[in-house]
Amino acid sequence: MNTNSEVEIHYRTCPLCEATCGLEIHTKQKKVVSIRGDKLDPFSEGYLCPKGFSLKELHEDPDRIRKPIIRKGTEWKEVSWNEAFLEVRKGLQNVIKQYGQDGIGVYLGNPNVHNLAGLLYAPIFLKTLRTRYKFSASTMDQIPKQLTAEMMYGNDFSIPIPDIDRTDYFLILGANPLVSNGSLMTAPNMKKRLSLLQDRGGKVVVIDPVKTLTAKAANEHYPITPGTDAYLLLGMIHTLFDENLIKLRKLSEYVNGLDKIEKISKDFSPELVEDKCSISAETIRKLARELSHADSAAVYGRMGTSTQEFGTITSWLIELLNILTGNLDHEGGVLFTTPAAGGRNIRKTPRKQETYRYERFHSPITGLAEVLGELPVSSMCDEIEQSNELKAFITIAGNPCLSAPNSKRLQKSFEKLEFIVSIDCYLNETTKHANVILPIPSPLERSHYDLSFYHLSVRNIAHYSKPIFDLPMEQLDEWEILLHLTEIVSAKNFGEDSIKRLDDLSIRSMVKAEVANISSPIYQEKMDRILEDLNRYQGPERMLDFLIRVGPYGDHFGKEADGLTLAKLKTNEHGLDLGPLKPRIPEVLLTSTAKIELAPRPLIKDIERLTSKLSENQQELVLIGRRDLRSNNSWMHNLPVLVKGKNRCTLFIHPNNAIKQQVNKGDFVKISSRVGSIVVSIEITDEIKEGVVSLPHGWGHLENETQLQIAKKHAGVSSNILTDELVVDQVSGNAVLNGIPVTIEKINIEEGEENKWQYMH
């Protein structure tokens, strides 16, 4: 007899980062007893990091908001959902009446992409709202990569993924996957994957101003001057042409504009760029040769290469290196995924004209260009402060008042808004400005499927997770909240059963678009039959079932008897491995020429800026970011298991800079940039390049009006008080979060006083 009969075991994927680890969660009497890695998960094989374990504390966190709340002055009052939505309706409709739909801005934060409801229903809400003021964490992150993919391959989600389990040579720029657990490269247990790569005789090379954990695990590490990767990469491309190392393999049939690349690279010899990037000409040539000679190689760049002054052209040059060495779409190189559901580049037809979803309108005040339907976060302060229409805001899973550049100014801007709604689980630095906060279920109370990350995964994987706990009484699911907002901004009356009606209408329009798509397996099928077939589910499950069934492995609604459905996927409780990545060129190319556009005009043009900055003197001291395994952007510092132990929010500084500034270990310094100053204690380490200092972001939980008891005790300081909203990657408008010019001076304060300083300044 099973003495543990009350213990239930659940398997699900961790929704906290891009690695999508499988978890084994034991519960007893509706409580989590333990969380461990699921050894039978075919992708993560038992791996998990400390954050996966923290889901228990997140679920139980007494500070998590569980009832809708309305603010009156600085007082918050719990209300019913009805009251909350009435208040939201009043606030939003007031603004819409006076200023139109553009009166409402929206900010979508990072956890949206880790949330099936958010991924499927936020777009429905946005489509109804039709505001031009749509912002998201993407323009502080990976938009340069998406824009590059849009221009070169015809789709922003056609981001080639390193085939790390088969590659012979892995060149990593500005990424620290051993700490971040990978980004735009979903692969649990990166440490093991890198060591297996080395065990089979492969090589890992890291380009980073810091000797990070990843750099330490690599065979070679080259500390680069922040913001200069584009010079290094052009030096490598120059070498490929110069030494006859171009090796297109099958890609020669599919590329446009090779001559233009050769021409621009002529001006960037390794000898010319070596001082700029602090990597010797000899090394630059060596790296180019090694890339070209390897049977398979993958070049991969992430945050450090996106959130810098030349974010887009750096992302582009990384693509070019993979192409020019024949590694795009090549086993062991970088490949496009074939996701089971929602593949944005699956069975699509090439564009009719060479137009990008870019620059179709501009931010009215800053003039920054729209990119993929969004305006850059860096324009948010100016737009809110100076716009004569943008008067209300909706934040969904975002904390821009801590995470965005010049966050102090943004906080002040938020105070000027007439009405704010936040969909969130915490009363934090951003949501404290809201008039109404609409709370969401805990991750364990909702279902999960990584629609985004299986698009970016090193193997094709599908894993559906059921909710572990039922929704508490009176808690709405996040998709229901989003549909309520949809109804409110549409100002139409959908009747009594409005959420069900809106949900039905949404799936109907998805099916309608699919049966009208000539490349779809259900082209010209009868809609009613499809809809009836889907009706066993509602909400995100219904949409997911639909996306899986019309997807590349799907049952195509009866046409493929062995094909995948959500019901079949559910029987694989540890997840389903759909195999290694497969070549997809030419079918994946969606540019108007159906070729890879090597030389998109806006990118070629930005080379002028690169040239003009070649002779610019290097700044004496620049600030870059840093991630920590026990942290996750700004929002998990209220969980004791993650914040215990030593203070992680310190400034890393090189010994020579410490001597110059006459500072010692543990001293406090005031660090200042164009936009602000903070006080922080230092850690002296020769692991950081001389002339560079680093601080993690997402800290600075000082506010009075927040409800984050634990986080306040481990407040730290906010690096975004220093980052500059006026400095952006010129092509994409992406925020520059690395390479901020700063000065430091020693300051005499007692430990624990630094936060007081913060308040006073």
Ligand X SMILES: Nc1nc2c(c(=O)[nH]1)N[C@H]1C(S)=C(S)[C@@H](COP(=O)(O)OP(=O)(O)OC[C@H]3O[C@@H](n4cnc5c(=O)[nH]c(N)nc54)[C@H](O)[C@@H]3O)O[C@H]1N2
| Binding footprint of ligand X on the chain (CB under 6 A) | 17, 109-111, 115, 137, 140-141, 173-177, 179-181, 183, 207-210, 212, 224, 226-227, 229, 302-305, 308, 396-400, 403, 423-426, 428, 440, 478, 624-625, 627-629, 631-635, 697-698, 719-720, 723, 737-739
Residue 83 burial (CB count, 10 A): 14
Strand partners, 108: 136, 396
Nearer to Mo ion, 183 or 337 (CB): 183
Nearer to ligand X, 326 or 698 (CB): 698
> What b/e sequence results for 642-668 when a residue is b if at least 16 CB atoms lie within 10 Å of its CB, and e otherwise?
bbeeeebbbbbbbeebbeebebeeebb
Distance CA 214, CA 227 (A): 19
Q: What's the DSSP call for residue 392? A: E
Residue 353: what are its φ and ψ, rounded to 5°?
-130, 160
Among 10, 11, 12, 20, binds ligand SF4 (CB under 6 A): 20
Q: Which residue is nearest to ligand SF4 (CB)?
A: 52
Nearer to ligand X, 394 or 569 (CB): 394
* Least CB distance to ligand SF4 at residue 280 (A): 36
Task: Please answer whether residues 300 and 318 qualify as being in contact, where contact means their C-beta atoms are separated by less than 8 angstroms.
Answer: yes
Token readout for 536 is 């066993």
End-to-end CA distance of the chain: 65
Listed ranges 15-23, 69-77, 537-545, 581-589: which one lies at the site for ligand SF4 (CB under 6 A): 15-23
Which residues form the interface with Mo ion (CB under 5 A)? 141
* Least CB distance to ligand SF4 at residue 183 (A): 11
Nearer to Mo ion, 156 or 541 (CB): 156
Residue 111 binding: pick among ligand SF4, Mo ion, ligand X, none (C-beta 5-8 Å cut-off by kind): ligand X
Q: Does 49 bind ligand SF4 (CB under 6 A)?
A: yes
Task: Please answer whether residues 698 and 333 qualify as being in contact, where contact means their C-beta atoms are separated by less than 8 angstroms.
Answer: no
Q: What's the DSSP call for residue 351? A: P
Nearer to ligand SF4, 52 or 91 (CB): 52
Residue 20 binding: pick among ligand SF4, ligand X, Mo ion, none (C-beta 5-8 Å cut-off by kind): ligand SF4
Q: Does 188 bind ligand SF4 (CB under 6 A)?
A: yes
Residue 428 binding: pick among ligand SF4, ligand X, Mo ion, none (C-beta 5-8 Å cut-off by kind): ligand X
Nearer to ligand SF4, 238 or 463 (CB): 463
Strand partners, 457: 186
For residue 395, give the nearest of 120, 48, 110 by alpha carbon.
Answer: 110
Among 12, 51, 59, 221, binds ligand SF4 (CB under 6 A): 51
Q: Would you give the distance in Å from CA 310 to the centre of its chain?
A: 18
* Least CB distance to ligand SF4 at residue 14 (A): 3
Task: Please answer whether residues 305 and 173 qualify as being in contact, where contact means their C-beta atoms are separated by less than 8 angstroms.
Answer: yes
Among 21, 261, 421, 483, binds ligand SF4 (CB under 6 A): 21
H/E stretch holding 605: helix 601-612
Token readout for 261 is 């690349």
Residue 631 binding: pick among ligand X, Mo ion, ligand SF4, none (C-beta 5-8 Å cut-off by kind): ligand X
Nearer to ligand SF4, 188 or 270 (CB): 188
Distance CA 235, CA 266 (A): 9
Residues 506-535 that bind ligand SF4 (CB under 6 A): none
Residue 403 binding: pick among Mo ion, ligand X, ligand SF4, none (C-beta 5-8 Å cut-off by kind): ligand X
* Least CB distance to ligand SF4 at residue 20 (A): 6
Residues 168-187 that bind ligand SF4 (CB under 6 A): 181
Q: Does 444 bind ligand SF4 (CB under 6 A)?
A: no
Secondary structure (3-state) at 273: helix
Q: Would you give the distance in Å from CA 245 to the centre of its chain?
A: 34
Q: Does 394 bind ligand SF4 (CB under 6 A)?
A: no
* Least CB distance to ligand SF4 at residue 161 (A): 17
Distance CA 115, CA 127 (A): 19
Q: Does 14 bind ligand SF4 (CB under 6 A)?
A: yes
Task: Please answer whether residues 139 and 146 qualify as being in contact, where contact means their C-beta atoms are separated by less than 8 angstroms.
Answer: no
Angle between helices 527-534 and 498-515 (to 10 degrees): 130
Task: Please answer whether residues 514 and 506 qualify as being in contact, where contact means their C-beta atoms are separated by less than 8 angstroms.
Answer: no
Q: Does 458 bind ligand SF4 (CB under 6 A)?
A: no
For residue 609, give the nearest of 374, 308, 373, 320 by alpha carbon.
Answer: 308
Among 52, 174, 257, 700, binds ligand SF4 (CB under 6 A): 52
Size of the site for ligand SF4 (CB under 6 A): 12
* Least CB distance to ligand SF4 at residue 634 (A): 15
Q: Would you give the distance in Å from CA 471 to the centre of its chain?
A: 27
H/E stretch holding 283: helix 281-293
Nearer to ligand SF4, 246 or 629 (CB): 629
* Least CB distance to ligand SF4 at residue 443 (A): 10
Q: What's the DSSP call for residue 477? A: P
Do the strands 169-173 and 448-449 form a parallel or antiparallel pair, or are they unpaired? Answer: unpaired
For residue 365, give the nearest of 672, 611, 132, 585 by alpha carbon.
Answer: 132
Q: What's the DSSP call for residue 13? A: E
Nearer to ligand X, 18 or 667 (CB): 18
* Least CB distance to ligand X at residue 290 (A): 17
Listed ranges 43-51, 256-264, 406-414, 722-730: which one lies at the site for ligand SF4 (CB under 6 A): 43-51
Determine the length of the chain.
761
In sequence order, the 6+-apart residues with CB closer than 8 A to the CB of 123 are: none
Q: Does 589 bind ligand SF4 (CB under 6 A)?
A: no
Residue 19 binding: pick among Mo ion, ligand X, ligand SF4, none (C-beta 5-8 Å cut-off by kind): ligand SF4
Residue 571 burial (CB count, 10 A): 8
For residue 757, give the nearest of 648, 643, 672, 635 by alpha carbon.
Answer: 672
Q: Does 16 bind ligand SF4 (CB under 6 A)?
A: yes
Residue 14 binding: pick among Mo ion, ligand X, ligand SF4, none (C-beta 5-8 Å cut-off by kind): ligand SF4
* Least CB distance to ligand X at residue 314 (A): 8
* Least CB distance to Mo ion at residue 466 (A): 27
Task: Please answer whether residues 360 and 532 qualify as being in contact, where contact means their C-beta atoms are separated by less than 8 angstroms.
Answer: no
Residue 424 binding: pick among ligand SF4, Mo ion, ligand X, none (C-beta 5-8 Å cut-off by kind): ligand X
- Sign, CA torsion 252/163/597/592: positive
Residue 564 binding: pick among Mo ion, ligand X, ligand SF4, none (C-beta 5-8 Å cut-off by kind): none
Residue 212 binding: pick among ligand SF4, ligand X, Mo ion, none (C-beta 5-8 Å cut-off by kind): ligand X
Do the strands 104-108 and 392-396 form a parallel or antiparallel pair, or are they unpaired? Answer: parallel
Task: List residues near ligand SF4 by CB under 6 A.
Answer: 14, 16-17, 19-21, 48-49, 51-52, 181, 188
